[in-house]
Amino acid sequence: MKGKRRPTTSFSLGALATSAAQVLAPNSLQFNEHEFQRSPKEAQDAAREAAKLVKPGTCSCGRCGIVTARWVLRLIDAGDLIFITTSGLVYSVGRYLTENAYDHVVIVLDQNTVLHVGMPSVKLMPLERLLLPQRQPVVLRVPMSEGELQLFLRCAKQLIGCKYDVARAYQLMLRLALKRVTGSTPLPRLPLDVKSNAWICSDSIIVLLAGCCKGFREALVKARQETDLDIFTLGSASMTDFERIRRIEPSIISRVPLPVVNYTLAPRKRSWRAYVPEVVRFAQSMQAGTLKWPLLAPEIFPTVHEFAASIPPTSWPVKRKIQVLGYVIVFLLMLRRGLTVKRVLLRAVEVLMLRYVAHHVMLHLQSSPAFGTARL
């Protein structure tokens, strides 16, 4: 029976996430399939040119070393990684809370397509769409031998059709947010199953690189010894892990330069006032009950959901408590008390985590024989 329930749960979570994302993040890659055609002509031209850019290469004989325009190499080539940002309030808040400059990464498979590990499942996408300037793309390259590159691409293509692990993505975000606010997280380390049929983008790419590229594998081991990588401390990789590995071993990840006329060297940050209309629409959707928010599903954070249900007043459902919290935060923001909001949230998280830890310590003590003896 348990084996039959799992697909239903996965489907419900995927449906919830899709429903929420369609309202809150319409610019997500899973929607707006005609994004490229609807983009300004200048953006389309920039993306097309970036996809076709080449640089001088050496003669194919490999001996004379002559640099000539006859032998050219593509600027963006198979095996490259493209990091992007997604516009909108939800993704901007997500990047802020998790301290990640980017929210998605794809693998370039050839001169026309990329591998997109996203909701609802892994699929192919046009390269040009990922190079639209509004997504602020950054192209990184891991040096690999021809054999390693072909193995990497073959293994990457085998992921096509695999499900996107919605629950894991949200669980990683929670851990990263707690780590940012409190400096650590009391939540357990996420399990990483390399034989899984469900993935998130960062995990899949780091696992593929570690399995196919000896140089990256050695750099990963070195970085683990010299810094904290989320893939080891939290059990799942963040976008920042790639930056940390690059800092420790600069030669293992190089940046492929895009024309600075059309592309930014670092993601630009929008003013929070630009998101006011989205906040209003979000509040209206929540108030009207037309938005089903996936984070409220017990399957995402079962322990957190159970804990939230126990917070007074216990007669209120979790959804109502979150709505009230949201209204309080919006009210404080309208009063321009941003620092107050941060302090209140920080203290609330600290109190909740302290209560959570104390509760489990008491349960542990009550289950030990020594506790029973002392009580008698």
Tens of pLDDT, residue by residue over 180-223, are 877 777 788 999 888 888 999 999 999 999 999 999 999 999 99
User: What is the per-residue pLDDT across 11-44, written as a single tens digit (0 to 9) for each?
Assistant: 455 554 554 445 455 566 766 677 788 888 888 8
- pLDDT band for position 286 (50/70/90)? low
Q: What pLDDT shows up at residue 363? A: 66
| % of the chain residues with pLDDT over 90 | 32
pLDDT of residue 240: 95
| Average pLDDT over the chain, rounded to an integer | 76
pLDDT of the residue at 199: 94
- Tell me the C-alpha distance between 297 and 306, whole Å: 11
Provide mean pLDDT across the span 108-130: 92
pLDDT at residue 34, rounded to an integer: 74
Tell me the pLDDT band of 359, cut-offs 50, 70 and 90.
Answer: low
Task: Read off the pTM.
Answer: 0.70
Which of 74-78, 197-201, 344-348 reaches the highest mean pLDDT? 197-201
Q: How confident is the model at residue 292 (pLDDT cuts 50, 70, 90)?
A: low
| pLDDT digits 0-9 by tens, 234-276 | 999 999 999 999 999 999 999 988 887 667 666 776 666 665 5
**SS3 labels along the chain:** CHHHHHHHHHHHHHHHHHHHHHHHCCCCCCCCCCHHHHCCHHHHHHHHHHHHCEEEEECCCCCCCCEEEEEEEECCCCCCEEEECCCCHHHHHHHHHHCCCCCEEEEECCCCEEEECCCCECEEEEHHHHCCHHHCCEEEECCCCHHHHHHHHHHHHCCCCCEECHHHHHHHHHHHHHHHHHCCCCCCCCCCCCCCCEECHHHHHHHHHHHHCHHHHHHHHHHHHHCCCHHHHCCCCCHHHHHHHHHHCHHHCEEECCCCCCCCCCCCCCCHHHHHHHHHHHHHHHHHCCCCCHHHCCCCCHHHHHHHHHCCCCCCCHHHHHHHHHHHHHHHHHCCCHHHHHHHHHHHHHHHHHHHHHHHHHHHHHHCHHHHHHHC
What pLDDT was estimated at residue 376? 40
pLDDT at 371: 47
Q: Choose between 368 and 45: higher pLDDT.
A: 45
pLDDT value of residue 64: 44
Percent of the chain with pLDDT over 70: 57
pLDDT confidence band for 9 (50 / 70 / 90): very low
Confidence of residue 355 (pLDDT cuts 50, 70, 90): low
Confidence of residue 151 (pLDDT cuts 50, 70, 90): very high
Per-residue pLDDT, 72: 43
